[in-house]
Amino acid sequence: MAVGGAVRFGEFELDIGSGELRRRGRRIGLGPQPLKILTALVAAPGEIVSREALCQRIWGEGTFVDFEHGLNFCIREIRSKLGDHAKRPRFIETIPRRGYRFIAGICAVSSNGSASPKEIQLHEIYVQARASLNQSGKESLEEARRLFEQVITLDPNYAMAHAGLGAAYALRNINRRDPEDLKSAHFHLRKALELDAELAEPYPWLCYVYVRLGQLEDAIKAGHQGVKLLPDLVQAQYFLGMTYLSSTEWGADNYQVAAGHLLRATLIAPRWQASWFGLSYIALLTGDYVRAREFGGHLLPTPGITVEVPFLGGEHALASVEMRQGEWKQARRILLGFLERMKTSDHMYRDTMSAAAACILGEVYIREGAIEHALASYHRAWHILQEHRRIMGHARLCVRAQAGLALAYASQGDRERATGLLSKGIEMADASTSISHCVPVVSLAEQFYAIAVAHIGLGALKDAMCALRRAAVSGWRDAQWLRRDPLLEPVRRSPEFDGIVDSAARFPPVRFVAD
Give residue-wise pLDDT tens across range 24-77.
777 888 888 888 899 888 887 778 888 888 887 777 654 444 566 788 889 999
List the domain boundaries for the chain: 6-109, 271-451
Average pLDDT rounded to a whole number, residues 360-388: 97
Higher pLDDT, 116 or 4: 116
pLDDT of res. 13: 86
Q: Is the pLDDT of residue 206 over 50?
A: yes
Higher pLDDT, 11 or 472: 472
472 closest CA partner among 507, 440, 441: 507
Average pLDDT rounded to a whole number, residues 257-277: 93
Domain 271-451: state its class: mainly alpha
Q: For residues 48 and 95, what is the distance between their CA atoms, to the nearest angstrom?
A: 8
pLDDT of res. 321: 97
pLDDT of res. 514: 65
Give the lowest-confidence range in 125-129, 139-143, 182-186, 188-192.
125-129
Strand partners, 107: 8
Q: For residues 412 and 372, what is the distance between their CA atoms, to the nearest angstrom?
A: 9
Which range has highest mean pLDDT (176-180, 195-199, 351-355)?
351-355
Q: In what order do the strands lie in the sheet with 48-50?
A: 48-50, 99-102, 92-95
User: Are domains 6-109 and 271-451 of this chain identical in fold?
Assistant: no
166 closest CA partner among 133, 139, 135: 133
Provide DSSP, 159-211. HHHHHHHHHHHHHHTTTT--HHHHHHHHHHHHHHHHH-TT--THHHHHHHHHH
What residues contact 486, with CB distance under 8 A and at least 6 apart? 367
6-109 architecture in CATH? Orthogonal Bundle (1.10)
Q: Return the DSSP state at 493.
A: T
Angle between helices 159-172 and 117-133 (to 10 degrees): 20
Per cent of the chain over pLDDT 70 is 93
Average pLDDT rounded to a whole number, residues 253-275: 93
Give residue-wise pLDDT tens across range 97-135.
788 988 887 776 655 555 566 777 777 888 899 889 988
pLDDT of res. 61: 54
499 closest CA partner among 466, 474, 456: 466
pTM: 0.77
What residues contact 491, with CB distance under 8 A and at least 6 apart? 456, 461, 464, 465, 468, 497
pLDDT of res. 63: 46
Per cent of the chain over pLDDT 90 is 65
Judged on CB neighbours under 10 Å (0-12, 13-18, 19+), 134 is: middle
What residues contact 349, with CB distance under 8 A and at least 6 apart? 136, 174, 311, 312, 313, 392
Give the lowest-confidence range in 88-92, 161-165, 169-173, 511-515.
511-515
Q: How far apart are the first and last CA of the chain?
A: 52
